[in-house]
Structure 1
C-alpha cells in the first residue's frame, strides 16, 4: 500500500496545534498591519479599525482553511499555505477611499473578486506571461510605494498638527526598527521569525509611558461577534475603481502563483494547472468575502512559505489548524480593538521593515530574469520608472479627471500594466526579433521555483 504524500499526512494533535500556532505567530503582524495602515491612512477611528482587524483575521482564516483542505473541485489548492491580507491592493484602496468613499472600496473589491474567480483558471493556463521579469518589477514598486505610507504613520500627515514630525515619535519608530533588526538578524530559530512581532510588543511598552496609547474603544467592543456584512453601507461600483481593483487582482495572482510553485518544489508535490487554478480561485473568493465583510484581499504569505521550508513540516492539516485559529481570533472584536490601539509610530516602524522587505523580494526576483539582455533591462527600467512617477511626484496627474487619477496615481497599477504589456510585446511577438536583431523572439524567463522568504 502506497503511503500518502507528506502534504496529505495528518500529524498528532499536539504537533498540529504547536505548528499551527507557530504559523499564526509568523504571519500575524503582516496580516494585521494592512488594516492598521489602511485605517490610519483614511482617517478611521480606533473602534472602526478594530472591526477591520476582526474581519481581516476572519476572512484570512476562512481562506487558509479552504486553501489547505479544498472546497469542491474548483476552489482550494490543497497545499500547506497560509493566506493573509496583501499589500498589493492597499494603495488602490486608499486612493479609492479618498476619491469615492468606503462603500466604493468594498464594492469595487467585490466585483474585483468576481473578476478574479472568472480569471483564475484561464490565468493558470497563461502563467508564462507573468515571468520573474513582470512579478519582480511589480513587487519592487509595491515595496517602494508603501515605504512612504510607513513614513506618514511615523511623522504624521498634517503639518499643522502639534505632533507632526515630533522627534519623540520618530525616536520610537527608530527603536522599533532597531529591535526588529536585532531579533531578525541576530536571533535564532523562532526568535528570528518572530522579530517583527517582538519589536511591535516592545514598541507598545515604550509608548505606554509616553501617553500614546488610549484604550477608549476597547471597553465598548464585544467579546464575541461576527463582522457585520456591508458595515460601511451599500456597496458602490465606480467603473474606474472596479478596473483598479481588477488589475490589483491580476497582480495578486502573479504573486500567489510564484509562492505556490515554491511550495511545490519545497514539499516535492507537483503543482500543476489544477492546483494553481484552485489556489487562484481561493484568492478571488477572498476578495468577494472581503467586499462583503469589509476586509482585505488575501494572498499566499511568503514568510510562511519560508517556514514550511525551514521546519520541513509539510502537512496541509497544520495550516488548516492555523486557519481555524485565525477564525477564532476574528470573532473576538475586543481583541481587534486592542490591536487597533497600537500607536501609529510603532506601526510605521514595523511597516518600514515589512514594506522594504517586499521591495527586496522584488529585486531578488528580478535576479532570476535575464537582465543582461538590453530589452529586458529596458522593460524593467521603464516599468519601475513609470510606476514610481506618482509616488515621487504626487502632483503629476492633478489636472487629469478625478476618475483617471485612481488608476494613474497608483504606481502599482501602472507598473503592472507597463511590465505586462512590454513583456508581451517584446518577448512574445516579432517585435522582439526586430529589437534584438534575431530570427526569433526571446523566450520568456522561467517563473522562479525557489521559495521567496519575506
Structure 2
C-alpha cells in the first residue's frame, strides 16, 4: 500500500495546471507591474527604459515564484503555492536613493540588502515560535484590510481629485465582476468552480472592450522578444545610507512574507516550520540580489494569491510553478505582457478586492483559535489593528500614505507600512502580556 502524495505535492492534468496557473498570474499581474511603472515614472525614465524595468520585473518574479514552489535543495524555496512579486515597500526608498545617489546606487543597495536577507533568513525564521495565532491572525487581518485601499484605487482611480474618479462605468465593471464571482462560486462545481475568478475576469474584459475601456494599441507596439542585459544602468555603487535604507526594506518585506507563508501553510494543511520559513525568506533575499543585477525589484509573497488559494481550495504547488514559468515567458516576450496590461484595472480590481478580503478572512480564522477570556488578548488585537491601520487611512489625494510624512525618511519606510506597524505591535504586545513575567513551567505558546 502506497501513501498518496500531500495535496501540495499532487500534480494535475496539463490543461488544468495551465488554466489555474494563468488565473494566479492574471490576479497578480497588475500589482506586479505597478512597481516598475511607478518607479520609472518618478525617475523620469524614457519609455524604452520603463519597458525594460517591466520585463525584468516579470522575469525575476517568475524565477522567484518558481524557486518558492519547486525549491532548490535545502536552501531556497518553501515548496508551497506561493506567488512572488515586486513589493511596494521598495518604491519610496528607491526614488529617494536615486534622487540623492543615482540609479546605480539603487541597484547596489538592492544587491547588498539581498545578501543581508540571506544572512538573516534563518535567525528571522526562528522567531516563528513567537507568531502564535494571536499574532499571525492579527497581522493577516491587517494585511487584508490595508490592501483594500489599493484595491479601491484600481476600481475608482488613483487620484481622488481627478474628475473621473469613481466613474460609474468603472464601478459597474468591477461590481459586475464581483457579482459574476458570486454567481460562479454558487453555481459552478469542480474545476469550473475553481477557475470562477478567471472566468469572471474574462467576462469583464469582454464587456470592457465594446465600452472602449480596453486599449490594445500597446500590443502592436511591443516587441516579440526582449530581456535587459545585467547592470543595464551601469556598475552598482554602495552608499552606506542607501544600503541601510534597503536593508530596512528587506526587514519590512520579511515581516509581510512571514505572515503570508504562515497563512499558506495553514490553508494547505502543511504548516510552515522554522526551516521552511527560512528557505522562503532566503528566496526573498535571492530575488533582491537577482533584481539588483537584472534591473528589477525585490520580491515578496503576494497576498492576493494567498486569498486565491483559500477561495479555490487548489493547494498544488505545481499550479504556482506554472505561474512562475508564465511570468518568465512574459518577461522574455513583452507582447504577451502588453496584452494582459490592456485588461482594465477595474476588471482586475473587482477580483483583487475579493482576494484581499480572503486574506483578512484567514486572519479571522486564526483569531478564532485564540482564547480571549480572562486575559488581554483582545486588547493586543485592538491596539495592533487600530494603530497599525492608521497609515492606510491617512492618504493624500493620490492615495499615498502621508500619516507619518514629518518623520525621517528611513523611519517612514517602516512606519508607512500598516503591515510592519501591526506586526511590531502584535509581536511586542504578545511578549509583554503573554510571556514576560510568566511563572516557570507555564506554556506561553499555547494557542491564545
Given the two structures, how large is their TM-score scaled by the length of structure 1? Answer: 0.78
Q: Say whether the 8 Å CA contact 1:286–1:297 is kept in structure 2.
A: yes
Uncovered stretches (5+) of structure 2, i.e. residues with no partner: 396-401
Distance change >3 Å, CA 121–CA 354, structure 1 → 2? same
1:334 aligns with 2:339: no
Question: C-alpha displacement at 1:210, in angstroms?
Answer: 2.3
Spell out, residue by residue over 1:250-286, the C-alpha distance to the aligned partner (whole angstroms, 9 max, x if none).
Answer: 33124214434664x45xxx97554443343234323
Matching of residues 143-292 of structure 1 within 5 Å: 143-159=144-160, 161-229=162-230, 237=242, 239-260=244-265, 263=268, 265=269, 273-292=274-293
Partner of 2:299: 297
- Aligned partners of 1:9, 1:174: CA distance in 2, in Å? 32
Give the deviation of 1:197 after TM superposition. Answer: 1.9
**SS at 2:301 equivalent:** strand
How many angstroms does 1:11 deviate by? 8.6
Partner of 1:428: 435
For residue 353 of structure 2, give the secondary structure of its aligned residue in structure 1: helix
Q: Relative to structure 1, is the Cα distance of residues 255 and 107 closer, same or farther in structure 2, using a 3 angstrom cutoff?
A: farther
- The alignment partner of 1:348 has SS state of helix
User: C-alpha separation between the residues in 2 aligned to 1:335 and 1:284?
Assistant: 28
Q: Secondary structure at the match of 1:126?
A: helix
* Corresponding pairs, count: 427
Q: Distance in 1 between matches of 2:159 and 2:8?
A: 54
> What is the SS of the residue equivalent to 2:338?
helix
Q: What is aligned with 1:450?
A: none
CA distance in 1, matches of 2:428, 2:9: 44
Please report how far the alpha carbon of residue 223 of structure 1 lies from its aligned counterpart in structure 2 after TM superposition: 1.4
Shift of 1:362: 1.7
Q: Aligned pair in 2 of structure 1 residues 31, 161: CA closer, same or farther (>3 Å)?
A: closer
Superposition deviation, residue 24 in structure 1:
0.7
Against the structure 1 CA distance between its residues 308 and 287, is the aligned structure 2 distance closer, same or farther, given a 3 Å change threshold?
farther
Q: Distance in 2 between matches of 1:344 and 1:304?
A: 18
Pair 296,347 (structure 1): closer, same or farther in 2 beyond 3 Å: farther
Q: Distance in 1 between matches of 2:435 and 2:351?
A: 40
Corresponding residue number in structure 1 for 2:351: 350
- Of 405, 411, 431, the match for 2:418: 411
Q: Which stretch of structure 1 is more off in the superposition, 157-166 or 38-47? A: 38-47
Aligned-residue offset at 1:323: 4.1
Please give the alpha-carbon distance, in whole angstroms, between the structure 2 residues aligned to 1:309 and 1:166: 34
User: Does the 8 A contact of 1:110 with 1:290 survive in 2?
Assistant: yes
| SS of 1:172 mapped into structure 2 | helix
Give the 3-state SS of the residue equivalent to 2:67 in structure 1: helix
Deviations, residues 225-252 of structure 1 (Å, cap 9, x unaligned)? 3355456775872634531332221331
Cα distance between partner residues in 2 of 1:178 and 1:119: 44
User: Within the alignment, does 1:139 sit opposite 2:140 as a pair?
Assistant: yes
Q: Which residue of 1 aligns with 2:398?
A: none
- Distance of aligned partners of 1:105 and 1:383 in 2 relative to their CA distance in 1, 3 Å threshold: farther
Deviation string for 1:45-77 (max 9, x for gaps)? 998776666445433442344345442442234
| Equivalent in the alignment of 2:28 | 31
Q: 2:15 & 2:290 partners in 1: Cα distance?
A: 28
Residue 212 of structure 1, CA deviation: 2.2
Contact 2:308–2:358 under 8 Å retained in 1: no
Flag structure 1 segments of 5+ consecutive residues without an equivalent: 448-454
State the distance in 2 between where 1:235 and 1:199 align. Answer: 46
Q: How does 1:314-325 map to 2 (within 5 A)?
A: 320=321, 323-325=324-326
The TM-score with structure 2 as length reference comes to 0.79
Deviations 1:272-328 (A, max 9, x none): 5544433432343234334444245143853675599657xx6x7776566444433
Going from structure 1 to structure 2, the CA distance change for 1:41 and 1:355 (only over 3 Å counts) comes to farther
Which has the larger displacement, 383-392 or 124-133? 124-133
Number of the residue aligned with 1:82: 81
- 8 A contact 1:33–1:351 mirrored in 2: no
**What is the alpha-carbon root mean square deviation over aligned residues?**
3.9
